[in-house]
Structure formats: structure tokens, C-alpha cells
Amino acid sequence: MLWWAVVFFIVAIIAAIFGFAGIAGAAASVAQVIFYVALILFVLSLIVNAFSGRGTAVPG
């Protein structure tokens, strides 16, 4: 998912270079939304993993 944020960011940069302000703004907005969704899912994954009840087994 983070890959798509990077792709949309690159599209926004290229569109801005060529002067397509509307496309650049839209692509940057999509990249920002995808980035925040990926960040939220990452934090939720950390929280669920921390409280999942699976402890590390101590050998011996």
C-alpha cells in the first residue's frame, strides 16, 4: 500500500513539472490519503500484535 503512495507522489511531481496543476494536486491528495491509511494500519497491527496474547516461549 505504501508503494501506491510513492507512485502517486511521483505522478504528482511529474505532473507539476509539466504544469498540470489539477492532476498534480489530485495525485498528491491520493498519495497523502494512502500514506495515512497505511500508517494507521501499521499502528493497528503493532497494537494487535502487542496484545494478542502470544508470548515468547522461553526454551528450557
In a domain, 54, yes or no: no
pLDDT digit string, tens, across residues 5-43: 888 888 888 888 888 888 888 888 888 898 899 899 989
Domain of 7 in residue numbering reads as 2-49
So what's the pLDDT on residue 36?
Answer: 92
Residues 6+ apart with CB under 8 A from 31: 4, 5, 6, 7, 8, 9, 12
In a domain, 28, yes or no: yes
So what's the pLDDT on residue 3?
Answer: 82
Q: Number of folded domains in the chain?
A: 1
Radius of gyration, CA atoms only, the chain: 19
How far apart CA 29 and CA 41 sit, in angstroms, is: 18
Q: What is the mean pLDDT of residues 30-57?
A: 83
In a domain, 55, yes or no: no
Residue 39, CA distances (Å) to 7, 14, 18, 33 in order: 16, 25, 30, 10
In a domain, 56, yes or no: no
| Three-state DSSP class for residue 30 | helix
